[in-house]
Structure 1
Amino acid sequence: MKTDRQGVTGAGVAWMATLALLWGSSFLWIKLALRGFNPVQITFGRLLLGFLVLAPIVMFRGLRFPRDGRTWGHLFMAALVANAIPYFLFGLGEQTVGSNVAGVLNATTPLWTLLLAFLVGVDPNVTATKAVGFAVGFLGVVVIFSPWESAAEIASWGGLACLAASASYGLSYVYMGRYLTGRGISPLVLSASQLGAATILLALAMPFAGLDAPEWRWDAVGSLLVLGALGTGIAYVLNYRIIQDEGPTAASVVTYLLPIVAVILGWAVLREAITVAILAGVVLVLGGVILSKRTRSGVRSKEVAE
């Protein structure tokens, strides 16, 4: 794996832009898929499609899926907090809030990751810069929610669901960093295995929560296909490729582009309003993330889930 000492290559920039577009557009595809499917059905569909994309790649490369029960136990737990819960919560949240808002709230994931890593002792060092970063980032969340506006749609259960989804992502990075990564298993195998485990979890939940008859609209079906095959499957492959070719620091830059992509697409496709609160929230959240990942010397701290 490269260490980011050299500049990002032209191909790397192209891969990063593509990944930002795939992940940043996921919130738009969720919004469109909700026109025909409920959140449980969307979550199951995107997980299954993502797994069907990754599994053949793993086998084609001659890689092996884990065989011991302990690893699979950790994979199922990671699948619950990294896929099943947040995917469902974003679908649930976007029933009442815009895709742009969901994308902006998703940007709080690194803040949750660092906060939870501190609480469980994975990253016990809290500098003044990190503390300021936390404060600035969560101030951005308050601005986005604008609780002083009684009619604000974001200050609702939908907005809270999206925020909870981001916290679940943060928990998953800490969990995977402690129990799954750095154990000699290919990230591609981990990704495929985790999506497979999450698909099983959603299949078990479908009889209880996914009984609503779907409406097979072309826009909903197409959005679900793109969300699953591209935004969940191919995006994992691209992320793995960027980390391998350009290094983890370069790959992490994509995180800062996702809310920008989500806001622009929400406005361009769905005519979702771009308010002052959303723009200010984006700036504060991303500023907080940047600050919270810096050490005293100004160098970015190591990613928890690297």
Structure 2
Amino acid sequence: MPLASTVRMAALALLWGSGFLWIKLALNHGLSPAQITIVRCALGTAVLALLARRAAQRLPNSRALWGHLAVAALFCNAIPFALFALGERSVDSGIAGVLNATTPLWSLLIGLAVGTDRGLSGTRLTGLLVGFAGTVLIFAPWHRSGLLSWGALSLLGAAASYSVAFAYMARHLTGRGAPLAVSAAQLLTATAWSTLGLPWAGPVDTDAVGILAVTALGVLATGVTFYLNYRLIADEGATSAATVGYLLPVVSVALGALILDEHIGRRVVAGMVVVLTGVALTRRQPERPARGAGPYTSAAPPRGATSPHTPAPAPAPAPAPATRPNAPEPNT
């Protein structure tokens, strides 16, 4: 891999993984979950709108597409962003990153349920069971110091919400329109959804650290990460870009320990390793059939492979991608 792509991948993992830290800092410095969600969506929209304008891409003009974007924005942005902020009020940022790693497992489970993923081999089924066993190990409901709480369940709900969105986008949004413009439109819609939480936002009572944290969350961990991921897929392909997803919980745990002095016990670390092992197994795909009818193409990553923090489903540009009939892949 060229040095530029390696640097881009490292930056992407750092920025994505830092999102949980920024949420925690914003909460610790007086911002409410509703305020964090609204500002995050708005700033991410601004970044992507500027990038779209620079690339001469216009917002969609199809009413039907905006309708699909409204559903995707609700489940891929407004709900999970709010649930992560709610969950991190009582759960460490490092653990939030670990629970976020369960997203590909939910994606596979929901994809099987709605018919967007039909390739359940024995290896992938094993990976699904192993991954959820790792989640149980993290929660440890049989242990007094287990993580079973409303905050942790909110984080798990955020991961599941991403997966619902991915299944929906796989059917209705993949390949629709210019990617930067569609992404900006999706986050613009998410901003509108998040403003429904204004009655519960409360008065703004923060300081410079809180403002800097939520700004970094919206600009860097939401807007800029999409562009970096988009470029990485375009330059190196989806498989290389997908490896970033394995680094996110490691980054979140490391940043939480270094900056917030969070302690992640051996049980949680072991659970994280088990979850990531399960995710790796679920990404095993059968051999691609002839004539380009394989389970995924160079224009889109394997299902559930990348982090859900990127706001849009649009694929990276490719000269003539072969697509799987009736089962386009979300690039999130």
TM-score (normalizing by structure 2): 0.86
* 8 Å Cα contact 2:39-2:214 kept in structure 1: yes
Instruction: Verify: 1:22 aligned to 2:15, yes or no.
Output: yes
Cα deviation, residue 297, structure 1: 5.5
Alignment root-mean-square deviation, CA = 1.5
Which of 194, 209, 216 lines up with 1:202 in the alignment? Answer: 194
Letter in 2 for 1:262: S
Which of 3, 27, 30 lines up with 1:10 in the alignment? Answer: 3
Instruction: Verify: 1:179 aligned to 2:169, yes or no.
Output: no
Gaps of 5+ in 2: 289-293, 297-301, 304-329
Q: Look up the match of 1:266.
A: 256
Q: Look up the match of 1:244.
A: 234
* 8 Å Cα contact 2:107-2:167 kept in structure 1: yes
What is the distance in 2 between the residues matched to 1:256 and 1:301? Answer: 21
Instruction: Verify: 1:224 aligned to 2:214, yes or no.
Output: yes
Identity of aligned residues (%): 47
Q: Look up the match of 1:107.
A: 101
Instruction: Verify: 1:192 aligned to 2:190, yes or no.
Output: no
Instruction: Verify: 1:126 aligned to 2:120, yes or no.
Output: yes
Letter in 2 for 1:209: W
Cα deviation, residue 273, structure 1: 0.6
Letter in 2 for 1:261: V
Q: Look up the match of 2:308.
A: none
Gaps of 5+ in 1: 1-7
* 8 Å Cα contact 1:293-1:301 kept in structure 2: no
Q: Look up the match of 1:5.
A: none
What is the distance in 1 between the residues matched to 2:180 and 2:286? Answer: 34
Letter in 2 for 1:275: G
Q: Look up the match of 2:36.
A: 42
Q: What is the number of equivalent residue pairs in this alignment?
A: 294
Which of 133, 145, 151 lines up with 2:139 in the alignment? Answer: 145
Q: Look up the match of 2:156.
A: 163
Alignment of 1:259-298 (within 5 A): 259-296=249-286
TM-score (normalizing by structure 1): 0.93
What is the distance in 2 between the residues matched to 1:125 and 1:192? Answer: 32
What is the distance in 2 between the residues matched to 1:282 and 1:247? Answer: 26
What is the distance in 2 between the residues matched to 1:170 and 1:239? Answer: 19
What is the distance in 2 between the residues matched to 1:84 and 1:239? Answer: 21
What is the distance in 2 between the residues matched to 1:295 and 1:235? Answer: 27
Between 1:217-226 and 1:83-92, the stretch displaced more is: 217-226
SS of residue in 1 equivalent to 2:243: helix
